[in-house]
Amino acid sequence: MQICATIPEARAACRAARANRKGLGLVPTMGALHEGHLSLVRAAKAQCDAVAVSIFVNPTQFGPTEDLSKYPRPFDRDCQLLEKEGIDILFAPPVDEIYPNGQVTWVQIEGLSEKLDGRSRPGHFRGVTTIVSKLFHILEPDAAFFGQKDAAQLAVIRRMVEDLNFPVEIVACPIVRESDGLAMSSRNAYLNREERGRALVLRRSLQEVQQEFQNGERIAAKLIAAAKDVFAREPQVVLDYFEIVDPDTLDPVERISQKTLVTVAANVGSTRLIDNLVLNL
């Protein structure tokens, strides 16, 4: 595994990998790797001949009251995990390598970046799309692998790739869950024991919607009401949003008649968690 800390190093390593092999896959991360990240790495290895992973805690996607300073950074452990998976290139730049003169140029996906997490976290998706576009320019991957857990992010990045003509295939990989059903997230480490139990309400609310859907319910408002009833039984968890939307536009749907995204965000103590499921007729 070649570890690159600078843009010229990473660019040269990725170009060499592409010259010698058929395709380069990229897994962008902020580190604090868990099995969800590693599932993306394995998917990239299965589809591509060479795999690059980036570790960069991107300050531009954190709001002024969010957890940038305490975000976990177990770099040595992450390196060991990636070495074990057999990746080819690790790009782990410092902040001043990516933003040497601050940041005045942004990639903004209008109409999508303000929905769901973008509504709750103003500027978040602008930071995401800016760093992802930088990684695409620097590393020039043939395919990039993202988790379905960040469904709104997936929609935003797909639209960016379409609009800016990036020659990159965006591959969505399934949500990986803990044994009790909680979606894996680096932020799960913030939860104490009691909060960890309460956090399962996100999964229960989605399961309730799934059950009602399987029973024949197609009216989104009724499905959302059923989910909110589940949250009402866990009052210490603060619901941010529970929405049923088109997976591409993130616009709310009134009646489910095609593939539809059910997405939830909530605060468990001081930790914000998200989860989702896709309904298919």
User: Hey, which residues are catalytic here?
Assistant: 37
**From the CB of residue 196, how many other CB atoms can be counted at a distance below 10 Å?**
17
CA dist 188 and 185 (Å) reads 5
For residue 173, the SS3 value is strand
**What is the distance between the terminal CA atoms of the chain, rounded to a whole angstrom?**
44
| Element containing residue 238 per DSSP (H, E) | strand 237-245
Place of tokens 């749907």: 253
Measured CA to CA, the distance from residue 43 to residue 230 in angstroms comes to 34
Spatial neighbors of 64 by CB under 8 A, at least 6 apart, are none
**Phi, psi for residue 132 in degrees, rounded to 5:** -65, -40
